[in-house]
Amino acid sequence: MRYLLSGGGTGGHINPAVAIANKIKSHEPNAEFLFIGAPYGLEKTLVPKEGYDIRFVKVRGFSRKLSLSNIDALIKAVTSVAAAKKIIKEFAPDAVIGTGGYASWAALKAASALKIPTVIHEQNAFPGVTTKMLSKHVGRVCISFHESEKYFDPAVKDKLVFTGNPIKSSKFTYDRQQARKALGIDEQTVYIMSCGGSLGADMVNSLCFELMNSFVKNTPSCRQIHATGHIGWDKYSALAAQEGLDKCPNINITEYIYDMPLQMAASDIVICRAGAITLAELAFLGRPAILIPSPNVAEDHQYKNAKVLADAGAAIVMRESEWSGEKLVKAVKELWCDSAKRNTYSSNIRKFASPDADEKIYSIIKEQIKSKTN
């Protein structure tokens, strides 16, 4: 069997595609895989790193403002489909699976025109433009939030299937007790993990530095690890030295958290952005979270993802513009001193976990292949 996958631009699209490919491979060790992506997205490095071949089509997104760049985007929307058709005809896949990003448009539109079974997966509560456009052409649309259904055209409602977000669950091999033992954290210590993404986020860094200065450094029963991200490292490592935070035994400031699954498993409170896969991992582990959604994403989807959790009492959420250092300290103190409240958030966020999402998606792919051959 041959499978072609497409998901790119950001890790939020690429990682689910890789998780789906890994699940297919676990069932079909002899299957062949090919990815289609854009030459300037993260898929260029992430997909080969995972051991999969990738080919590229030139495609770009549309600007929400009137812009000459939209003319180029329109041309590429057409030419990329033709380029994808050529790749698909050469590879001859049994199914084509998309996980969002502009390259998915080319791959799935081409596959649909060639009558090849197609499935698209949407990670966010508010579906992206690419997913909504492709929903009319693909065989099935896998969604990760029940709230997504209301945003789709009623004509495609029969195609929607709730699966949840696929994550690399094999990364999370530690339970909380094992993780804390490995990190030397006793049961009486409340452990906070905070980050703003691999590149970093200035507002998240600023808020977390206020938290460390105002509360953590003076509270021995609390420990915190914070990742500044690549962009913020020079500024905030210098600030940490200036303010003496680098000398605090209960504070660890680093550029990047390389053992994220271990740290997340050990944590009592996680402070982070609200990307769909991050939320799926928090739900999988049942970690109480304070979410600071990025305002710099399409359709404000991080806030919409987080709002679903907030409405269910599964996370503390405010828009970035609403947070202050004082408010973050207050939120952390409330969770730090109240284990029952932490347990409530943990229990509520676990309800959003879909540990078998990749298995469900695999079954849907096989159903589409079977229906095509019958």
* HEC string for the chain: CEEEEECCCCHHHHHHHHHHHHHHHHHCCCCEEEEEECCCCCHHHHHHHCCCCEEECCCCCCCCCCCCHHHHHHHHHHHHHHHHHHHHHHHCCCEEEECCCHHHHHHHHHHHHCCCCEEEEECCCCCCHHHHHHCCCCCEEEECCHHHHHHCCHHHHHHEEECCCCCCHHHCCCCHHHHHHHHCCCCCCEEEEEECCCCCCHHHHHHHHHHHHHCHHHCCCEEEEEECCCCCHHHHHHHHHHHCHHHCCCEEEECCCCCHHHHHHHCCEEEECCCHHHHHHHHHHCCCEEECCCCCCHHHHHHHHHHHHHHCCCCEECCHHHCCHHHHHHHHHHHHCCHHHHHHHHHHHHCCCCCCHHHHHHHHHHHHHHHHHC
Closest to 180 measured CA to CA, from 168, 189, 172: 189
pLDDT value, residue 129: 85
pLDDT value, residue 282: 97
79 and 109 in a single domain? The answer is: yes
98 and 75 in a single domain? The answer is: yes
282 and 207 in a single domain? The answer is: yes
31 and 119 in a single domain? The answer is: yes
| Domain extent for 53 | 2-166+355-373
Neighbour count for residue 52 (Cβ, 10 Å): 18
CB 96 within 8 A of CB 6: yes
Instruction: List the beta bridge partners of residue 55.
Output: 36
133 and 187 in a single domain? The answer is: no
Count of domains observed in the chain: 2
231 and 150 in a single domain? The answer is: no
pLDDT value, residue 75: 61
- 161: tokens are 């299937």
241 and 259 in a single domain? The answer is: yes
DSSP strand pairing (2-6 vs 160-162): unpaired
**Alpha-carbon gap, residue 194 to 228, rounded angstroms:** 9
**Alpha-carbon gap, residue 101 to 124, rounded angstroms:** 12
Angle at 7 between CA 258 and CA 153, to 5 degrees: 125
Q: Encode the chain (374 residues) as per-residue pLDDT tens digits.
A: 999 999 887 888 999 999 999 999 999 999 999 999 988 878 999 999 999 999 999 876 655 555 555 565 556 666 789 999 999 999 999 999 999 888 899 999 999 999 999 999 999 999 988 899 999 999 999 999 999 999 999 999 999 999 999 998 788 889 999 999 999 999 999 999 999 977 779 999 999 999 999 999 999 999 999 999 989 999 999 999 999 999 999 999 999 999 999 999 999 999 999 999 999 999 999 999 999 999 988 889 999 999 999 999 999 999 999 999 999 999 999 999 999 999 999 999 999 999 999 999 999 999 999 998 77
199 and 135 in a single domain? The answer is: no
27 and 175 in a single domain? The answer is: no
226 and 94 in a single domain? The answer is: no
pLDDT value, residue 142: 98
Could you tell me which residues come within 8 angstroms of residue 346 by beta carbon, excluding any fewer than 6 positions away?
A: 286, 287, 288
CB 204 within 8 A of CB 236: no
pLDDT value, residue 169: 78
pLDDT value, residue 12: 87
Backbone phi and psi for residue 317, each to the nearest 5 degrees, phi listed first: -135, 135
**Alpha-carbon gap, residue 318 to 282, rounded angstroms:** 17
134 and 179 in a single domain? The answer is: no
- 102: tokens are 């502009």
Q: What is the pTM of this model?
A: 0.90
CB 27 within 8 A of CB 1: no
**Alpha-carbon gap, residue 144 to 99, rounded angstroms:** 12
326 and 360 in a single domain? The answer is: no
Residue 7 class from Cβ within 10 Å (0-12 exposed, 13-18 middle, 19+ buried)?
buried
pLDDT value, residue 179: 96
> What is the CATH classification number for the domain harbouring 6?
3.40.50.2000
**Alpha-carbon gap, residue 281 to 96, rounded angstroms:** 26
Neighbour count for residue 146 (Cβ, 10 Å): 12
